[in-house]
Each structure stands twice: as C-alpha cells, then as structure tokens.
Amino acid sequence: MKAFISNTLDLENDKAYVISSIAFMLDDLGYKSHSSLSNSEEAIDIRTKVGIRSANLFIGLLTDDGDTPKSVYNEWKMAIQHRVPSILLVEDTLDYDSYEFDEDYRGNVIRFSRKNPEIAIEEIKAKIEASRLDRNPKRLENIVAWLTGGQASMRTIQLLAR
C-alpha cells in the first residue's frame, strides 16, 4: 500500500524530522510513503499527480512553516477527487476561512494548535472510534482514512507541538 504525505514544512528548520517520523510510522502499518514538498501554488507537477492518484492514503499538513500552503490544499482536493482516503491537518495560525472545504470531507479536516495539541488529538481519537463503528459504504474513504491514518495524524501534531 502507498501513502502520500503533502506538506509545506520548511525542511531547513528544526521540524524537518516530522515527515520522516510519519513515514516510519506508516511503514510500520504496511505503507510505502511518498512525500512531496510542495513548491508551487499554481500547478501540481506530474510526479505529484501520479503519487496522489496511486496512493491508498493521503495526509496533508498545512502549517505556517512553509510558503506554499495552497499547494497542499490543491493536492488534498485532488486526492478527494480521486477518492483517495484523506486527512488534512490545518494549523490554527492559518486563515481557515480562505479555504473552501467540501461539505462531505470537512470532517476529515482537523485544525490543531501547537500550543494546545490535546484538543485535536482527542478529536482524532473520537473519529477513529466512530470509524470503527461506521458501516456506511458511502463513507468508506473517510472510514479508511481515520482507521489507517489517524495514528499518524496524532503523531504529526504531537511532533509539531514539541
């Protein structure tokens, strides 16, 4: 199985280890991870498109560390368009209202605070538990996203909060 991690983290800063840590965690779950450091607000390059389309899980990370957050948002929208189970983590310092989140997938968007990560972590735990009980085939992508990517999402927030 393949996981695609999209982020805008500045890999020159002290948070560069976050993506590799997530990749190791996903590897333990049986995923081969691909990551894209988004560098264009305008278009998604062909390699990234192929990576997203062939993924079984997409985790997007929108933080204020990078300079191209719209690219992660666009990649997340592409993942949804191709029915890839997806989770988007959005740092609370970003202007949430400047993004248009699809009603059906708004539940797969988690806002988090580096100063108070516990709220988002509890929300993710609740989504994982609800997914274990959900049997609605129309929500299959959401269920799979939380059951397979929930732990990695919590770990991501914990690492950023350090």
Is pLDDT at 87 greater than 60 in this prediction?
A: yes
Task: Give the three-class secondary structure for 2.
Answer: strand
* Opening angle at CA 65, ends 99 and 143, nearest 5: 50
For the ranges 5-9, 98-102, 107-111, the lowest mean pLDDT is seen at 98-102
Q: Does residue 90 carry a pLDDT above 80? A: yes
Domain span at residue 18 reads 2-161
| Tens-place pLDDT, residues 9-61 | 766 666 667 888 888 889 988 999 988 755 666 678 888 899 999 999 999 99
pLDDT of residue 12: 65
Closest residue by Cα to residue 124 from 155, 102, 161: 155
Q: Which CATH number covers residue 133?
A: 3.40.50
Average pLDDT of the segment spanning 78-91:
92
| Token pair recorded at residue 150 | 């929930």
The model's pLDDT over 65-83, given as tens digits with 9 standing for 90+, comes to 777 778 888 899 899 899 9
- The residue type of 158 is Q
In this prediction, residue 55 carries a pLDDT of 95
Separation of alpha carbons 10 and 114, rounded Å: 16
* pLDDT reported for residue 98: 72
pLDDT value at residue 142: 83
The per-residue DSSP string of 50-87 comes to HHHHT-SEEEEEE-TTSS-HHHHHHHHHHHHHTT--EE
Nearest partner of 102 among 132, 79, 118, judged by Cα: 79
Question: What is the identity of the amino acid at 34?
Answer: H
The pTM score is 0.88
Q: According to the model, what pLDDT value does residue 19 have?
A: 83
| pLDDT at position 79 | 92
DSSP string, 30-57: TPEEEEEE---SS---HHHHHHHHT-SE
User: Domain count of the chain?
Assistant: 1
Instruction: Give the separation between CA 162 and CA 154, rounded to whole angstroms.
Output: 13
The type of residue at 63 is T
